[in-house]
Amino acid sequence: FWMNHDGQGAGVKNFDIGGVLFDVATVAAVESCSPEVMDDEANPSRITCTGGSGTGDKGNYAATSKIHGMKLGPLDLELYANYGFDSKAIDTEER
């Protein structure tokens, strides 16, 4: 399996649970973002979201999961389950 973290979320990919694979992650929506393409080769995606924007989140969160790798004859079955929620600690009309 592989664990990843992108700054606004973290998760585990391809965790083997007895012949099927399981992905799970949590993410948060950023407060604001002005995406810019960088010339810096150290960033593999070359896109940054820190230029002129805040670093906080909006109080909106999600837990995502996927079970995949299930073979049913010629079919490859995948099941998704996502749940979104918010934080009452962040009081805003936009939420």
Would you say residue 34 has pLDDT above 50? Answer: yes
Q: Is the pLDDT of residue 83 over 70?
A: yes
pTM: 0.60
DSSP code per residue over 26-88: EEEEES----EE---TTSTT-EES-TTS--SEEEEEEEEEEEEEEEETTEEEEEEEEEEEE-T
Per-residue pLDDT for 55 more than 60?
Answer: no
Percent of the chain past pLDDT 70, that is, above it, reads 57
Rounded to an integer, the average pLDDT of 13-35 is 83
pLDDT confidence band for 68 (50 / 70 / 90) = very high
Q: Which residue has the higher pLDDT, 72 or 4?
A: 72
